[in-house]
Amino acid sequence: MLSGVRVLDLATLAAAPLAATYLGEFGAEVIKVEQPGVGDPIRTWGAQRDGVGLMWKSVSRNKRSITLDMRGAEGQDLLRRLVAEADVVVSNTRPQTLRKWGLDYESLRAVNDRVIMLHITGFGLTGPKSERPGFGTLGEAMSGFAHITGAADGPPTLPPFMLADGVASLNAAYAVLMALYHRDVHGGPGQLIDINLVDPLARLLEQTLLGYDQLGIVAQRAGNRWDISAPRNTYRTADGKWLAMSGSSPALALRVFRAIGRADLVTDAEFSDPQRRLARAREVDDVVADWVSKQTLAQAMSAFEAHEVAAAPVYDIEDLLRDEQLRHREVFVPVADAELGTMTVQAPVPRFSESHGRVEHLGPRLGEHNAEVYGELLGLSADEVADLRHRGVL
């Protein structure tokens, strides 16, 4: 689908490289540019096997790795030559650093006026915090997410995965596609895309903004409850497992009551009327929790499925890999790898009727593709590449 689009991934760690990964899954040629000797820090981040970073292997799927020292003049010149052959440049270096190196958008646009530059930073390219370093944890805190997540009497809660980076990366990937469409279909110019780690996640917390703006409500932590629907929680079963439930529509909530043998609540206005039911959310939860606690997970799910209740078991990773629906859709795929043998990773998510995402290979060794990339794009000979490597430019 994106065959013919060339992406230079200059970024490190999570959000910006992930955006490049999504493009690579659907045919874009992605060239990962890394610092000689050390590479992207995500190579050594998280779980390792035999000294090989597992996250690196997945995030850098389908990418070719080259090395280049962008801190020196010779490396900067080589990068500009690469940009002249690229459609998209992905970066997350602080703005002042790129300006100092002569690799900011205006400088790169002078080399290639069709280039689209995706620049992901902690706080954005403008404003009083624009030069501060930022990580996903800060985005999760400042977006308002952590404030409303967790038990009512507990601390603000951070997710144990890359939530802010992931949400930013998804925004970034579709932004690049819009910029390519604008350029290639409407004849527009290349442009700069400015995305940070706070705005995309804050965009999803719509209810907190609307409630505050119109009603002066400052949302507080409420565990797994949500003040727009009831029942809505996680419930523990008699065999020590958990299930989650959503009663987000009036019809769903009434099905729950029938499923647990409380048809009397269906005709009780205090529980059947959506707004009055919300005022008694704790009572609703207690009724559901009491019933669930006397059932095994299998028994509870059987009753809920029979009444078409929106409920699901809370999976751990083993459950997730065993689920028949996910196995049918091949959500997780094994991929052969020269360093690890075989590794199971998430498959590309969007499904198209006529085109397919792919995982051709996992993250490469550092600088594995120096000779072919510099030879193909810049016409450098093997001796020139070897000399640049010897002098620390590559």
Give domain status of residue 211, yes or no. no
Give domain status of residue 81, yes or no. yes
**Domain boundary at 263, 289, 313, which?**
313
Give domain status of residue 222, yes or no. no
Residue in 221, 333, 229, 344 with CA at minimum distance from that of residue 280: 229
Give domain status of residue 215, yes or no. no
**Residue range 255-303, pLDDT digits in tens:** 999 999 999 999 999 888 888 898 998 999 999 999 999 999 999 999 9
Residues 339 and 289 occupy one common structural domain? no
**Domain boundary at 313, 337, 352, which?**
313
Give domain status of residue 217, yes or no. no
Residues 68 and 189 occupy one common structural domain? yes
Residues 139 and 62 occupy one common structural domain? yes
Residues 45 and 125 occupy one common structural domain? yes
**Residue range 7-49, pLDDT digits in tens:** 999 999 899 999 999 999 999 999 999 999 999 999 999 999 9
Residues 104 and 23 occupy one common structural domain? yes
- DSSP for 129-183 reads TTTS---HHHHHHHTSTGGGSS-TTS-----SS-HHHHHHHHHHHHHHHHHHHHH
Query: Which residues carry out catalysis?
Result: 165
Provide the number of structural domains found in the chain. 2
What is the domain range of residue 51?
A: 6-203+329-390
Give domain status of residue 208, yes or no. no
Backbone angles phi, psi at 67, to 5 degrees: -110, 150
Residues 262 and 349 occupy one common structural domain? no
Output the domain CATH number for residue 17.
3.40.50.10540
Residues 338 and 254 occupy one common structural domain? no
**Domain boundary at 282, 313, 344, which?**
313
Residues 97 and 192 occupy one common structural domain? yes
| Mean pLDDT of the residues in the chain | 96
Residues 342 and 299 occupy one common structural domain? no
Residues 270 and 380 occupy one common structural domain? no
**Residue range 174-183, pLDDT digits in tens:** 999 999 999 9
Look at residue 229 in the predicted model and tell me its pLDDT: 82
Mean pLDDT of 202-208: 95
Residues 91 and 164 occupy one common structural domain? yes
Q: Are 32 and 65 in contact (CB under 8 A)?
A: yes
Give domain status of residue 381, yes or no. yes
User: What is the value of pTM for the model shown?
Assistant: 0.94
Give domain status of residue 319, yes or no. no
Residues 278 and 192 occupy one common structural domain? no
Look at residue 230 in the predicted model and tell me its pLDDT: 83
- DSSP for 225-288 reads -BTTBSSEEEEE-TTS-EEEEE--SHHHHHHHHHHTT-GGGGG-HHHHSHHHHHHTHHHHHHHH
Provide, for the chain, the percentages of residues in helix, strand and coil under a 3-state DSSP scheme, each rounded to the nearest 5: 45, 15, 40
Place 253 in a pLDDT band, splitting at 50, 70 and 90: confident
